[in-house]
Amino acid sequence: MAFNVIEFAVEPNSEDQIGELFDEFYTDKKFKSGGVVLERLEHGRRGERTHRIVWMWELGNGGLVDGEVAEHEGQAFWSRLGNFINREVPSERYAGRILSWKEGDTSITPQVHIWDFKPADPVAFQKAHDRIVKDAADAFENRTVGFGTYDINQQNGASHWVVITGKNLNDNLALFTEMETTYKKEMERYFQDRGEVNNIRDYVLNILKRYN
């Protein structure tokens, strides 16, 4: 799987109109694989950018199914979306791959916590990541958990990322306590097996719309 992201700033009080625009364009559309997500940036966001769009797809099999949308419809969608974007704030684009993914229910866990980092041994990190997701399966129920790479426009030197979703801020914070207590031994093994990690930053966002 791969992903492509664009972060941008929206005009004040325009989030609802953008959501309606996305519903109008993407509802009932069929994707070849993956989908698209509209998200609001919150804790840890950079600069004045407020939202982002994430496209996800299987490498070599992306986009909407042929015939799902006419060319003029796509052009009209982007033209209308542009009316709600603050052009004075530079947008940011980056892309990469999804190496591990445990799908949850983002209608229940719409808040997303992302860590950007650079592992000394990416292979060891992925093995440790996959193991803790399996060993702490009950803690991750309904949560989407993923691990992958930044391959284009690496974020502040970060080469990899981890994502975990939760119900809200309280739920994401409570996960730390649960992992430190109920899964203390599993976490100790995780930190030992994953190797050295240079943490770059972490941030939180909320899923507003998701289509797949």
Q: What is the 3-state secondary structure (H, E, C) of the chain?
A: CEEEEEEECECCCCHHHHHHHHHHHHCCCCECCCEEEEEEECCCCCCCCCEEEEEEEECCECCECCCCCCHHHHHHHHHHHHCCECCCCCCEEEEEEEEEEECCCCCCCCEEEEEEEEECCHHHHHHHHHHHHHHCCCCCCCCCEEEEEEEECCHHHCCEEEEEEECCHHHHHHHHHHHHHCCHHHHHHHHHHHCCEEEEEEEEEEEEEEEC
CA distance linking residue 161 with residue 118, whole number of Å: 8
- Higher-confidence residue: 169 or 72? 169
Q: CA-based diameter of the chain, in Å?
A: 56
pLDDT category of residue 202 using cuts at 50, 70 and 90: very high
**10-64 residue pLDDT tens:** 999 999 999 999 999 999 999 999 999 999 999 998 889 999 999 999 999 999 9
In the numeric block, which tokens belong to residue 170? Answer: 């309280």
**What average pLDDT does the segment 178-198 reach?**
97
**What average pLDDT does the segment 151-171 reach?**
96
Q: Is the pLDDT reported for residue 156 higher than 90? A: no
Query: What percent of the chain is modeled with pLDDT above 90?
Result: 92
Name the nearest CA neighbour of 161 among 110, 131, 126, 207: 126
**Stated pTM of the model:** 0.93
**82-137 residue pLDDT tens:** 999 999 999 999 999 999 999 999 999 999 999 999 999 999 999 999 999 999 99
In the numeric block, which tokens belong to residue 116? Answer: 């950007």
In order of start, what are the domains of the chain with their CATH numbers?
A: 2-93 (3.30.70), 100-206 (3.30.70.100)
